[in-house]
């Protein structure tokens, strides 16, 4: 593979089906293709992540806007209020069952419309950090990490169990400023650690 467009599409396809660099190399070998070096693969993953984040930032949260409009139709007195109280359900899901998962996604869903208003992805794992730890001394790693920390994929330093409550804090904190919605009533499945 050499065309940048083909490379990024290949990496995106592999990410979409949950396959990492090793799986992609297996796939390429089957088709007698050269594949990508791990650093090149990681660079494409980062470019895709940056592109997706830029699109998300440019796109207003249409679900939150729709929830607001539905509340305003049902309760016309809310039209002049910057902040609206809404009832939501909140739950998290993990990449793997149990406490060993490195990734967790937590979602806030409006109870009246059933629309997902917001979500947060937390990870306590970074592939680059793991590779660097295995190949560098502590001093080399510390120096390398200073350059890397702004693009580190680990954004959670606790356990998988604590991801749901940390995500709730992030989601609740930005709901008012970003969407003018205050999640005052929460329906939960009872297994949440969120209080």
Q: What DSSP string runs through 152-188?
A: -S----S-STTHHHHHHHHHHHHHHHHHSEEEEEEE-
Q: Give the dihedral sign, CA 156/159/161/165.
A: negative
Comparing every residue's Cβ against Zn ion, the nearest one is: 126
125-to-39, 57, 64, 129 alpha-carbon distances in Å: 17, 24, 30, 8
Q: Report the nearest approach of Zn ion to the CB of residue 130 (Å).
A: 8
Question: Three-state SS string across 89-115, please?
Answer: EEEEEECCCHHHCCEEEEEEEECCCCC
* Beta carbon of residue 49, minimum distance to Zn ion (angstroms, whole number): 13
Question: Per CB under 5 A, does 132 bind Zn ion?
Answer: no
For Zn ion, which is the closer residue by CB, 28 or 129?
129
Q: Does 108 bind Zn ion (CB under 5 A)?
A: no
Question: Quick one: which segment of 7-15, 20-28, 43-51, 146-154 binds Zn ion (CB under 5 A)?
Answer: 146-154
Minimum Å gap between C-beta 14 and Zn ion is 20
Site for Zn ion in 151-170 (CB under 5 A): 152
CA 182-188-193 angle, 5° bins: 95
By CB under 5 A, which span of 45-53, 63-71, 73-81, 120-128 interacts with Zn ion?
Answer: 120-128
* Site residues (vs Zn ion, CB under 5 A): 126, 128-129, 152
């Amino acid at each position: 593979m050499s065309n940048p467009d083909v490379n990024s599409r290949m990496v995106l396809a592999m990410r979409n089906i949950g396959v990492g660099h090793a799986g992609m190399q297996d796939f390429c070998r089957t088709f007698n293709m050269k594949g990508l070096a791990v650093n090149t693969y990681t660079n494409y993953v980062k470019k895709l992540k940056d592109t997706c984040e830029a699109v998300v930032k440019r796109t207003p949260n249409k679900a939150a806007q729709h929830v607001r409009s539905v509340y305003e139709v049902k309760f016309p007195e809310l039209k002049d209020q910057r902040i609206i109280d809404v009832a939501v359900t909140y739950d998290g899901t993990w990449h793997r069952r149990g406490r060993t998962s490195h990734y967790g996604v937590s979602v806030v869903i409006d109870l009246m419309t059933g629309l997902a208003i917001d979500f947060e992805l937390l990870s306590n794992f970074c592939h680059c950090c793991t590779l660097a730890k295995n190949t560098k001394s502590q001093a080399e790693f510390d120096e390398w990490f200073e350059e890397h920390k702004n693009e580190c994929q680990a954004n959670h330093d606790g356990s998988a169990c604590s991801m749901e409550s940390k995500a709730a804090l992030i989601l609740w904190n930005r709901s008012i400023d970003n969407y003018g919605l205050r999640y005052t009533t929460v329906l939960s499945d009872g297994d949440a650690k969120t209080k």
